[in-house]
Amino acid sequence: MKQQYHQSERFTPDKELQACGLFGVMDTSGKCFGGEMAINAIKNMKVRGNGLGGGFGVYGLYPDYKEYYALHIMYQDKNQAAKRLVEEYLKQNFYVVYDEEIPTDPGVNVFQPPLVWRYFVSPTHRKGAEDTMTDDEYVVSKVMFVNINIEDAYVFSSGKNVGVFKGVGFPEEIAAYFMLDKLYQGYIWTVHSRFPTNTPGWWGGAHPFGILDWTVVHNGEISSYGTNRRFLEMHDYYCTLYTDTEVVAYAVDLLMRKQGLPIEIVSRIFAPPLWDAIKLMSEKDKKLYTALRTVYAPLLLNGPFTVIVAHHNEMIGLTDRIRLRPLTAGAKGDLVFLSSEEGSIRAVCPDLDLVWTPPGGEPVVVRLNSKDHLLSTNKSI
Amino acid sequence: MQIKFGYRDNFLCEIRPTGELCSEYMCVDCGKAVIDAQNLKHKEVNDLCREAMLNDVTDITINNVFGQRYIGTRLYNPDKRPPVTITINKFPGNDLGVFLDGHRIIVNGNAQDGVGNTMNDGEIVVHGRAGDVVAMAMRGGKIFIRDNVGYRCAIHMKEFRDKLPVLVIGGTAQDFMGEYMAGGVVVMLGLNLKDGEPHRANYIGTGMHGGVIYLRGHVEPHQLGKEVGVRELDEKDWRTVQTHVHEYCRHFDKDPAPILTGRFIKLLPVSRRPYGNIYAY
Amino acid sequence: MYSYQLPEFIIDRAEDRCIRCRVCERQCANQVHSYDVELDKMFSGEKDCVGCQRCVVMCPTLALNVRPRTSDYRPNASWTRDKMQNLKKQAETGGVVLTGSGNDKPYRIYWDHLVLNASQVTNPSIDPLREPMELKTYLGRKPDAVKVTRGEDGFDVETESFPNVPLKTPLVFSAMSYGAISYPAYLSLAAAAKETGILFNTGEGGLPEHMRREYGGNAIVQCASGRFGVDADYLNSSQIVEIKIGQGAKPGIGGHLPGEKVLANISETRMIPIGTDALSPAPQHDIYSIEDLSMLIYALKEATNYEKPVSVKIAAVHNVAAIASGIVRAGADIVAIDGIRGGTGAAPLATRDNVGIPMELALAAVDKRLREEGIRHKCSIMAAGGIRCSADAIKAIALGADGVYIGTAALIAMGCTLCQKCYTGKCNWGITTQNPFLIKRLNPELTTRRLVNLIKSWSHEIQEMLGGMGINAIESLRGNRDHLRGVGLEEWELNVLGVKGAGE
């Protein structure tokens, strides 16, 4: 694919159109729970998807292997040659502790399922210059390699103690196929119901999209995708999965992991305040926001969006700065919910302690063992 | 990847016939009907409402509503039947009362986006908060929201002669309130704001070229669109505000006196042709 | 500010023919001609002339000749006269340059590069004058299959069918709102649609109440971003409800009705104050994503009790195929695609000329994509934007359209000469104006006759060409690109259109 890019920008793959329903739930005390809440909530929002995509991101599901990177890899059309190549590659570059096919329910009928395999690996076996890389860097570069160079093989998720299950079908069908309500418990569940218009049968296109332990579910269309993608390419992130959500995941990885910026700043990069509002701020704030907007201008996400970004210990909900897509947050006890519609939160938890909707560009940050999510209620309705 | 996937209908799939639903989910008793909407799809709930109306029911109660949409829309009937009152318990979905034409809807819970979207006549009362684009393109009738509302409420509201839509909000709103208003009355009371705390909305009334917003509380000038002017209320305005506040209090069991002592301002458009100068003819 | 612009037209008057009848003076809404009593001479002030040719046509002795001044500045292929004049206009006003009607720039017209087949020897032509030639079309969603049960006296159809609307011929009048065009023009479209058994589109302006009973049966009503005139009665009096997302002349922005045209009647139908500009907002504020479009489609279906098909009108833009696929999956029964040559009453010049793609390519791409996904039968495709003759219409159908919207062609039939000044409200032909003096010039009965003649003549021509191809029912041509060949097109264009080169 790198060759394709060199030939001409004319041949870059088109990103798909999609629209969706989102839901996320986190237990801030770290207690793990099963998937019924997530599945029932997304079923309530069935009309937001069109049955051509659904997916789940689960955190804390592999307590026995939590020190190892769990790679969920999909082989399109059950291509065995691709599988062999990938396994060769993994053996050369990682210490593979354990691997197996992700268990699926044979009774559930889904459309053309690919082969989905999970590998628990540790990043040893490094050569030469790679010694200086951090573990995370190493894993990212290897994942990029698999996505770009090995035909028919795509990595769904590559984090420690994190798993992404997704595919073509209504989300409840995907949940039944992967037996999510029976087999897994997690302290963060994010779900996505997709409404794509392109290339059905492409399991890799569903959300959540993940890199390391970042998973992103996204509702909306990023009209600045071309700009964002070209900026990220300069930083060695290649968008190969035909969806605009990729730029969000890679941008979050770049800003939060590589450049160490906190989430409050990152949300202000994705959804910055308008220049009219910056004019009225204090000198200190003016300096900060002007710096962010000028340096990170290519990462401004334009277009309607609601994203739920999750990684270990945090789940973050963010909408675009003029709130063209909805997001409602709810809390009851230790559980915090984020969803496209209040009705779906109520369907799984009818009596909430608190329900609020933050303004555009204001993140709701749900952190482990804290009440930080309540900070966003100040400006919310 | 040239695989033909065909079409999956997410809205109309597995809709059960109305006859079957009637016996299980609805019970009708001399002009009143009670529907249990637990696990019913959007169209099924509305099929039952229409069935009830065609059987001369004028009072429908729907329980266990979790996100069902378009409630109140399917009741258009050119035979001029008497208006129906629908009481919704729990949480209706988007587009509550979209294109509503003369009926009454009462919600005991929070509403979502699109309440009274393009409503022509009737009344909607929400005992809770509502979401975005409440009263969008509303042309007549009344909407009362007890608590707060979201973005772009009363956007492009319209009026003509005696057809005057009214939106009364008990709490506050988010950005773009009254965007592009062409007519109608909005009363925003800010009852849950602290003393001296300004309303939080920005770009209030941007593009306004008709209608009026009565605001109780405080806004900074930079929060208003450039087409908006601020005025004090006159006799006629006070009478209008009092009428609407009294009606609001009747619905939500509140005392109008402390509300009416608050400071009210009137927001109205300063020009009828705010865009007259941007084109070169 | 003193204007530096040059006049756009030259008026030549043959003095020996001019009989000083002063018809030209009375007919010109821009007050170009005037009569000097003392000198007994007609004077023409060219600065205000817009080249509408009304005076030329009405002059009893054909003494006038109005022609464009094209080459006043030194010839410059880059800085053309148009560009320079518009620049000067902007310098004088600081405003956005407005214009009317469709794109006039020399983008390639694919209709002129496609040729049709005719039957010879192996397959007989069919004589359209004597043998039946069926043009009847149904618009709407079709079910996957028809299930029948054998009954006592034949077969009973079990499948519940979706609402479908019949057309006697696959031509439909395009959306022109009451407000953009005058009342007689609007009424003529409605009456002509009723007489010829086709449909007309109310556009954004609503359908006046007194017309609903008589013409509602031939109306496509629009629910546009301004929601002007939309109530449950309006929706239920129509045959099809159309959601307007965009139009080809100005993709991405909303409708413009300058305040000059918002007089009493318009104010009543649209419910806005007299004299205000009716600028429809660009997006529909409850549709910010495709699942929201699905929400509005079903809201309209609920409001009309699932009895009417819902259509979605979009402008042809870059990834129109994916958008159309999304629209069909969102529940729409008809998709209308408006190309870059679509007309309008008012649009910013920059948007009209530069935004959008040609309708031919969009149509071919959409038809192909919907078939690839197996959902082509779930919708009917209407093509709009620059259909100039029946040959264009038949080529559109061969590329995959179910029907064709004609806008500019209908206006030309009514008398329009594309002077592109619709937004000023001074249309000399009485079509795009609300001025009561000018409107009187348009007689609804005669105008209806003109439109009916247009539809009849085009239908006959289509029948002739169909017969020539050996087809006697229009549905056999729909999407049948084998009957088209391209002439003078590049490789990629032939690929997008899905058509072979002539001789291949």
Kindly determine whether residue C298 and residue B69, on different chains, have CB atoms separated by under 8 Å: yes
pLDDT at residue C273, rounded to an integer: 79
Kindly determine whether residue B2 and residue C372, on different chains, have CB atoms separated by under 8 Å: yes
Beta strands in C14-91 (DSSP E): 33-36, 41-44, 64-68
User: Are B149 and B173 spatial neighbours (Cβ–Cβ below 8 Å)?
Assistant: yes
Rg from Cα positions in chain C: 24
CA atoms in the 13 A half-sphere facing the CB of C248: 31
Closest-approach residue (CA) in chain C for A14: C319
Of C281, C304, C305, the CB nearest to B156: C281
Output the pTM of the full model.
0.90
C350 touches chain A (CB under 8 A): no
DSSP string, B54-92: HTT--EEEEEEEES---TTSTT--TT-PPPPEEEEEEE-
Checking if the pLDDT of B4 tops 90, the result is no
Residue B231's pLDDT band (cuts 50, 70, 90): very high
C316 vs C247: CA distance, rounded Å: 8
Which residues of chain B does A49 touch, with a Cβ-Cβ cutoff of 8 Å? 10
Closest-approach residue (CA) in chain B for C279: B275
Helix (H, G, I), strand (E, B) or coil at C423: helix
B223 touches chain C (CB under 8 A): no
User: Are C36 and C53 spatial neighbours (Cβ–Cβ below 8 Å)?
Assistant: no
Bridge partners, residue B210, by sequence = B182
A129 vs C69: CA distance, rounded Å: 72
CA angle at A51 for the pair A186 and B68, rounded to the nearest 5°: 85
pLDDT at residue C19, rounded to an integer: 93
DSSP string, A87-110: HHHHHHHSEEEEEEEPP--TTS--
| C440: phi then psi, degrees, rounded to nearest 5 | -60, -20
Burial C483-497 (b: 16+ CB within 10 A, else e): bbbbeebeeebbebb
Q: Chains B, C: CB contacts under 8 A, how many?
A: 159
C66 vs C46: CA distance, rounded Å: 10
How confident is the model over B86-145, as pLDDT tens digits?
Answer: 999 999 999 999 999 999 999 999 999 999 999 999 999 999 999 999 999 999 999 999
Q: Chains A, C: CB contacts under 8 A, how many?
A: 52
- Burial environment of residue A377 by CB neighbours within 10 A (0 to 12, 13 to 18, 19 or more): middle
Of B6, B76, B98, the CB nearest to C299: B98
The Cα of A160 is separated from the nearest Cα of chain C by a number of Å equal to 34
Which residues of chain A does C302 touch, with a Cβ-Cβ cutoff of 8 Å? none
Closest-approach residue (CA) in chain C for B209: C276
A21 touches chain C (CB under 8 A): yes
Amino acid (one-letter) located at C161: S
User: If residue B122 lies in a helix (H) or strand (E), which one and from where to where?
Assistant: strand B121-126
Rg from Cα positions in chain A: 20
Helix (H, G, I), strand (E, B) or coil at A335: strand
- List the structure tokens of B95: 């587009």
The Cα of A229 is separated from the nearest Cα of chain B by a number of Å equal to 24
What's chain B's average pLDDT? Answer: 90
Kindly determine whether residue C231 and residue B139, on different chains, have CB atoms separated by under 8 Å: yes
C73 touches chain A (CB under 8 A): no
Kindly determine whether residue C295 and residue A197, on different chains, have CB atoms separated by under 8 Å: no
| C278: phi then psi, degrees, rounded to nearest 5 | -95, 90
A249 vs A259: CA distance, rounded Å: 14
Residues in chain C: 504
- List the structure tokens of A372: 């930080």
Kindly determine whether residue C303 and residue B11, on different chains, have CB atoms separated by under 8 Å: no
A83 vs A154: CA distance, rounded Å: 10
- List the structure tokens of C118: 């005719």
Helix (H, G, I), strand (E, B) or coil at C122: coil
C481 vs C467: CA distance, rounded Å: 17
Closest-approach residue (CA) in chain A for C326: A197
pLDDT at residue A109, rounded to an integer: 82
Taking CB atoms within 8 Å and a gap of at least 24, the contacts of A366-370 are A366/A26, A366/A28, A366/A314, A366/A315, A366/A316, A366/A317, A366/A336, A366/A338, A367/A28, A367/A313, A367/A314, A368/A28, A368/A29, A368/A30, A368/A187, A368/A313, A368/A314, A369/A28, A369/A29, A369/A30, A370/A28
A18 touches chain C (CB under 8 A): yes
Kindly determine whether residue B5 and residue A50, on different chains, have CB atoms separated by under 8 Å: no
CB < 8 Å from A in window 272-291 of C: 288-291
Bridge partners, residue A364, by sequence = A317
Kindly determine whether residue C319 and residue A19, on different chains, have CB atoms separated by under 8 Å: no
Beta strands in A282-363 (DSSP E): 305-311, 314-319, 328-332, 335-339, 354-356
Kindly determine whether residue A47 and residue C330, on different chains, have CB atoms separated by under 8 Å: no
User: What pLDDT tens digit does each residue of chain C (504 aa) get?
Assistant: 888 888 899 999 999 999 999 999 999 999 999 999 999 999 998 889 999 999 999 999 999 999 998 778 898 889 988 899 999 999 999 988 999 899 999 999 999 999 999 988 888 888 888 888 999 999 999 888 888 888 888 888 887 788 999 999 999 999 999 989 999 999 999 999 999 999 999 998 889 989 999 999 999 999 988 888 888 899 999 999 999 998 988 888 877 788 878 888 888 888 777 888 787 888 888 888 888 899 999 999 999 999 999 999 999 998 899 899 999 999 999 999 999 999 998 899 999 999 999 999 999 999 999 988 888 999 999 999 999 999 999 999 999 999 999 999 999 999 999 999 998 889 999 999 999 999 999 999 999 999 999 999 999 999 999 999 999 899 899 999 999 999 999 999 999 999 999 988
User: Are B73 and B120 spatial neighbours (Cβ–Cβ below 8 Å)?
Assistant: no
pLDDT at residue B3, rounded to an integer: 47
Which residues of chain C does A50 touch, with a Cβ-Cβ cutoff of 8 Å? 329-330
Helix (H, G, I), strand (E, B) or coil at C112: helix
Which residues of chain B does C243 touch, with a Cβ-Cβ cutoff of 8 Å? none
Kindly determine whether residue A323 and residue B171, on different chains, have CB atoms separated by under 8 Å: no
| Cis ω before A208 (30° cut-off from 0) | yes
User: Are B34 and C356 spatial neighbours (Cβ–Cβ below 8 Å)?
Assistant: no
CA angle at A264 for the pair A259 and A266, rounded to the nearest 5°: 45
- With a cut of 50, list the residues of chain A below it in pLDDT: 1
CA angle at C108 for the pair C105 and C111, rounded to the nearest 5°: 120
- Give Cα separations from B276 to A67, A243, C179, C282 (angstroms): 66, 42, 17, 18
| Mutual angle of helices C320-329 and C359-372, in 10-degree steps | 50
Residue with tokens 């039968």: C377
- Give Cα separations from C39 to C25, C35, C60 (angstroms): 16, 9, 21
Which residues of chain B does C273 touch, with a Cβ-Cβ cutoff of 8 Å? 182-183, 209-210, 272
- Sign of the Cα torsion A366, A369, A374, A375 reads negative
Checking if the pLDDT of B26 tops 90, the result is no
Residue B1's pLDDT band (cuts 50, 70, 90): very low
Of C236, C275, C298, the CB nearest to B70: C298
Helix (H, G, I), strand (E, B) or coil at B243: helix
The chains in contact with chain A, meaning 3 or more Cβ pairs closer than 8 Å, are B, C
C330 touches chain A (CB under 8 A): yes
Which residues of chain A does C294 touch, with a Cβ-Cβ cutoff of 8 Å? 47, 195
Of C96, C230, C279, the CB nearest to B118: C230
Which residues of chain C does A195 touch, with a Cβ-Cβ cutoff of 8 Å? 290-291, 294, 326, 329-330
Most distant CA pair in chain B, distance:
70
Q: Cα–chain-centroid distance for residue C161?
A: 30
Amino acid (one-letter) located at C76: N
Would you name the residues of A annotated as active-site residues?
20
> Which one-letter DSSP state was computed for residue A258?
I
A219 touches chain C (CB under 8 A): yes
Q: Cα–chain-centroid distance for residue C40?
A: 45
Mutate to test the interface with B, among A37, A46, A47, A348 (most CBs of B within 10 A): A47
A139 vs C15: CA distance, rounded Å: 89
The chains in contact with chain B, meaning 3 or more Cβ pairs closer than 8 Å, are A, C
Mutate to test the interface with B, among A197, A339, A341, A351 (most CBs of B within 10 A): A341
B184 vs B210: CA distance, rounded Å: 8
Q: Cα–chain-centroid distance for residue C233?
A: 26
C12 touches chain B (CB under 8 A): no
C324 vs C332: CA distance, rounded Å: 10
C105 vs C111: CA distance, rounded Å: 16
CB < 8 Å from B in window 284-303 of C: 285-286, 294-296, 298-300, 302-303
Of B10, B131, B175, the CB nearest to A51: B10
